[in-house]
Amino acid sequence: MSDTVQQVKDKLSIVDVVSQYVKLERSGSSLRARCPFHAEKTPSFFVSPERGTYHCFGCDTGGDIFSFVQAIEGLDFKGALKVLADKAGVEVVYGRGGKEKKDERDRLFELLEVATIYYSSHLTEEAKKYLKERGMSAQTISAFRLGWAGNEWSELTDHLKAKSASGGKFTEKEILEAGLGKKSERASAGWRISDKFRNRIVFPIADSAGRVVGFSGRTFGEHASPEAPKYLNSPETPLFRKSRILYGFDRAKGAMRKHNFAVLVEGQMDLLASHQAGWTNTLAVSGTAFTPEHATLIRRMTDNLVIALDADPAGIKAAGRAARAALQGGLNVKVAQLPNECDPADLIEKEGKEAWSRCIRDAKDIITFLLDVLEEHSKGPDWFRRSVESVVLPYLSDMRSPIAREQYVREIAERLGVSESAVADALAQLPRVPAQGGEARSDTPAMSATPEKSDVSPRGLGRLKQAYGILLWQLSLPKPQIDTTRYLSEMEEAAGEETFKNLKKLPEEEQEALRFSVESLYAEDVNLEREMQALLRVIHRQRLMEELDIATMALKQAEKSAKEKEAERLLAVCKMLTTRIAQLHEKV
């Protein structure tokens, strides 16, 4: 695998990768941006093209292209490797001779891929006919790898148990862990496992890297049992976390970045119809609640979300919950209003893709949408006021932008015919929901960590780390500005052998943070050599003064104990240290 990793690094620069997610601007020899991992006003996220690394001083994260993709797309290392290898056009090889060494997660991914192939190869003509009647083209069916789960109790399970795979045949334990089987009891045979999905059209659900992690199955026609749910999803598994997976995200993320917004629909059929109509930035919640984790995932690609859930009462309630989670996650939210009792797939099928495009283009900001709906159904001024207080203001409280809140306070005041201060007072009485998704707020002290010179003084990184950072930075350059061999020797003398050894033991993450800090300070400094020497003299003098304090205390103790020879030796040490300190003081 190491060869594959190096090939990817050779073909993709850190700038190539990061610039697809954030807008970078030049800052000395580095590039900077607002961090995609936390909310901030002042850019504290820096990228070094020379070293192929990034570091954020706000949330203290950093690494290379692989750790960046892992963090921003919510993947493990192998998932990030797959994403980057696909971009670079490099084939992923895991071991010598191309033989993969697979762990338990790899085995589950392989099992789910085998199941996907099995389902898609068994898609019946009847299912194809139904999908075609719903407006799905053969190309869409193939691209999204739709399949069919048959009627037999253990059709897929038996196939998987008989299938040869790297590391041996799949076990019942693996089939259960992948969410494809369930335990069933038969009186004559005891416990055995049967298929999770039966008599359903199957939709594979993939992670951000495009690897299948679960399935959703849909009944139709005579196969739909009155007792069975229309949609059945995979259970929670080591690979499938419903709160972190959105159907279609792997296919939509590029279009989300390109168009700078995402469209959220409710089900798989809605998503397929929307993609087929040209809106490839569409995602689906796939039968689960929209969560702040989903919002965080979307916000890595765009800050804007259009919610277009079904127009029935359940869909409207779900849209409301999704909007609150999205606002709490820092997204700007609009709502696309569909005709009554209509979902996106029905709208596209009956009225065409232009009607769907019009819905998206005419989407209203969530507050305006709620005000319009409440005003349309108003039973009088008092009812409207109470409804605004109970329904609209909680959404306004969820908004992270104080400017947006102020704008909507003005609009609400105009609609109600009251003062802005009255609306602001009512809003202030509501409990505020903290920022979701584990992200720091931009108004916390830690977020002011853009590396100015005052921040990396002794009160910040400390003189020793600052000096060591200069050494690390210069050693990383193809052509150092200073004599690094001489500087290394001088720093070891200034800091002391033991202290210098401890500096060299700093974790690589902290060393990289030091490189970025001093680089931002000194990249444009034409007097680097002079400042470096002055810094070393101050460090050296500080160390000698500490040694003098220790020697002076020992001298007093020796004189008190009448140890004349020891006192004489320590007196000579104190004089020598005092002379050296005076010499350094003059230089400083």
The pLDDT score that the predictor gives to residue 190 is 60
CB-based contact 36:24 (threshold 8 Å): no
Closest of 252, 300, 301 to residue 274, by C-alpha: 252
576 token code pair: 């020598």
**What angle (nearest 5°) sits at the alpha carbon of residue 289, between those of residues 287 and 295?**
120
CA torsion angle 426 431 432 434 (round to 10) = -170
Residue type, 328: Q
Strands (E), 251-387: 262-265, 282-284, 304-307, 332-335, 364-365
The pLDDT score that the predictor gives to residue 102 is 66
Q: Which CATH class is domain 2-96?
A: alpha beta
Closest of 398, 375, 399 to residue 388, by C-alpha: 375
Structure confidence at residue 433 as a pLDDT band (50, 70, 90):
low
Q: Which CATH class is domain 104-240?
A: alpha beta
The pLDDT score that the predictor gives to residue 224 is 73
Reduced to 3 DSSP states, what percent helix, strand and coil does the chain have, rounded to the nearest 5? 55, 10, 35
Q: Centre a 10 Å sphere on the Cβ of residue 336 and count the other Cβ atoms it contains.
A: 24
Q: What proportion of the chain, given as a percentage, has pLDDT over 70? A: 90
Residue 187 above 90 pLDDT? no
Instruction: Choose the most confident range, by mean pLDDT, from 223-237, 290-304, 557-571.
Output: 290-304
Structure confidence at residue 136 as a pLDDT band (50, 70, 90):
very high
Name the average pLDDT for the chain.
Answer: 85
536 token code pair: 């070393």
Q: Could you report the per-residue pLDDT of 392-404, keeping only the tens digit for each?
A: 999 999 888 888 8
318 vs 302, higher pLDDT: 302
Residue 442 above 90 pLDDT? no
Structure confidence at residue 411 as a pLDDT band (50, 70, 90):
very high
CA torsion angle 444 447 451 457 (round to 10) = 30
Structure confidence at residue 444 as a pLDDT band (50, 70, 90):
very low
Which residues are bridge partners to 194 per DSSP? 182
Q: Is 462 helix (H, G, I), strand (E, B) or coil?
A: coil
Q: Could you report the per-residue pLDDT of 13-49, keeping only the tens digit for each?
A: 999 999 988 889 988 778 999 898 887 778 889 999 8
**What angle (nearest 5°) sits at the alpha carbon of residue 446, between those of residues 442 and 451?**
105
Residue 124 above 70 pLDDT? yes
Q: Is 195 helix (H, G, I), strand (E, B) or coil?
A: strand
Q: Could you report the per-residue pLDDT of 193-206, keeping only the tens digit for each?
A: 899 999 999 999 99
**What angle (nearest 5°) sits at the alpha carbon of residue 303, between those of residues 300 and 309?**
105
Q: Could you report the per-residue pLDDT of 51-76, keeping only the tens digit for each?
A: 899 999 888 889 999 999 999 888 88
* Dist. CA 7–CA 10, nearest whole Å: 5
How far is C-alpha 367 from the chain's CA centre? Answer: 27
Residue 177 above 50 pLDDT? yes
How much is the CA Rg of the chain, to the nearest whole Å? 32
Which residues are bridge partners to 31 per DSSP? 26, 47
**What angle (nearest 5°) sits at the alpha carbon of residue 117, between those of residues 112 and 118?**
95
156 token code pair: 């897929």
505 vs 306, higher pLDDT: 306
Q: Where are the domains of the chain?
A: 2-96, 104-240, 244-362, 369-428, 453-587
Return the CATH number of 244-362, one of 3.30.70.20, 3.40.50.1100, 1.20.1440.230, 3.40.1360.10.
3.40.1360.10
- The mean pLDDT value for 354-369 works out to 93
The pLDDT score that the predictor gives to residue 70 is 92
